Amino acid sequence: WYQRRVRGLLAALRAKAVKAAIGVMVTASHNPPQDNGLKVVEPQGEMLLPRWERYSSQLSNTDSASLVEALKELGEEVEVSITSTQGRMIIGRDTRESGPEIAAAVTAGAANLQCKVENIGVCTTPQLHWIVKQSNIFKPSTLLDYYKTFAESFMALYGKPEADVKHSIKVDCANGVGAHALRTLAPSLTDHIDIIVCNDGSSGKLNENCGADFVKLMQNAPQGVNYSENEHCYTIDGDADRSLFFYFQDHKFHMLDGDKIATLFAGFLNTLIHEAELNLSLGVVQTAYANGSSTSYLHTKGIPVVCVPTGVKHLHKRAEDFDVGVYFEANGHGTVLFSDNAMEMINLRAARETRKIQKSAVTRLLAFTKLINPAVGDAITNILVIETILKLCKLSPQSWNNMYTDLPYRQLKINIRDRDIIKTTDAERKISSPAGMQEKIDALVSDFSGARCFVRPSGTENCVRVHAECATQHEADTLAMSVGSMVFDFTEALHSHL
């Protein structure tokens, strides 16, 4: 209770500092149901600034007797009076049993600093991000506004079903909050698409043998869902900010991850921008984990690709450098950002354009901007975007999947004594320290044609992660094992000399 209350105090202080609404989401995302935590959302719907994450850690490590003094000192550092009545906090939670208690602790902390609190109850993480962003830019918004906005945007871009035959999709909701959100949204879309909700929490456990994290890790379909050949199926995670697409062909499982989604979105947007004759920069932001084939495919389409360190905050920030920035992690978390310049140009052209092809393209582009959640990766809105693109471009799951073929890869976790001895550079694709380790990796990679491999320390565990890509699965397995063994031996040798 104390730690949660402290986070409430920190969030309230942040709200006072920005003099705006901030969000607090009670969730542990793709983790087991007994886990829970807090995410603080900035006024524009972004994640809490790193500097304030440090402040949060400082306060959390302060004992109760020293807390008031620590708050006063922090208030002075950020130039905020802890007795001011400015600021507003919007709290949401997923379906975990501990959610209400944690939300109450956060509310108590905020009340200590006279911060106004609005508890919107059960919602997805992206819904909270969207509501916070909308409330600060336009007007106070609610969950009903979310459903209305995206239902109308989907129907406008998707159009009427072809040949009056409604399409249906199945969504594995990981027994999480996404099921509640989809069940609320689905009735508004019944004239266009049927959404069949699976793993809705009525029987199974949250994230157990289901959900996007499970499907990505196991490379297999989630339990609790019945599938038909070539059926459009999705899996989302516990708080509905990740989504993956999958289907079966000839009884074989095929998964299309965040890389595939990014290339689908980028290709669609690239076509619209060119047809509309708009001078807008389009780019895709990836991490080192993006499959090399996706990067090569985007290059062949003339779409710039940049690589950043792992983490949504890095992807989101770099995407802002483009007029239209597409970013996705391989795990299915991502979105599309449109700059103020892009929005101004698109709106102006949509209002004035009279030529048929250009008018159609810019109209669709404008509708796309309203269907994407610009605050954060949103599994639900991304599913709607994917279905729209597949319909408009007349793409089957197979034709989408066949745009490029993923290189076989293998990921390993190598436990070592001290992960901090390994430092990386070049967006975590090269090791800068200890000296000599990168040269050994390069030597091992050179044994395989067209291969790549990188090693990076984990952000949460005392281990390193090895990622290897090769022309065949056997080669990828072999390279990953060779590099993993080398890293372990290298670090052990360093420790023996200390």
124-160 in b/e burial notation, b at 16+ Cβ within 10 A? bbbbbbbbbbbbbeeeebebebbbebbbebbbebbee
CA dist 391 and 167 (Å) reads 10
Out of 29, 56, 243, 482, the active site residue is 29
Confirm whether 141 is a catalytic residue: no
Euclidean distance between the first and final Cα of the chain, in Å? Answer: 42
* Angle (deg, nearest 10), helices 125-137 and 379-392: 90
CA dist 466 and 119 (Å) reads 42
**HEC-encoded secondary structure of 330-360:** CCCCEEEEECHHHHHHHHHHHHHCCCHHHHH
The two structure tokens encoding residue 281:
């920069």
Listed residue (21, 27, 442, 352) closest to 206, CA to CA? 27
- What is the number of other CB atoms lying within 10 angstroms of the CB of residue 53? 14
**HEC-encoded secondary structure of 80-125:** CCCCCCCCEEEEEECCCCCHHHHHHHHHHHHHHCCCEEEEEEECCH
Burial status of residue 15 (CB atoms within 10 A of its CB: 0-12, 13-18, 19 or more) = buried
- Hey, what amino acid is at 128? L
Burial status of residue 359 (CB atoms within 10 A of its CB: 0-12, 13-18, 19 or more) = middle
Query: What percent of the chain is helix, strand and coil (3-state, nearest 5)?
Result: 45, 20, 35
For residue 49, how many C-alpha atoms fall within 13 Å in the half-sphere facing its CB?
Answer: 12
CA dist 365 and 388 (Å) reads 12
CA dist 41 and 49 (Å) reads 9
User: What angle is formed at CA 176 by the lines to CA 188 and CA 4, rounded to 5 degrees?
Assistant: 120
The two structure tokens encoding residue 301:
């389409």
Backbone angles phi, psi at 262, to 5 degrees: -60, -45
Say if CB 294 and CB 259 are below 8 A apart: yes
Strands 282-286 and 324-328: parallel
Active-site residues, by number, are 29
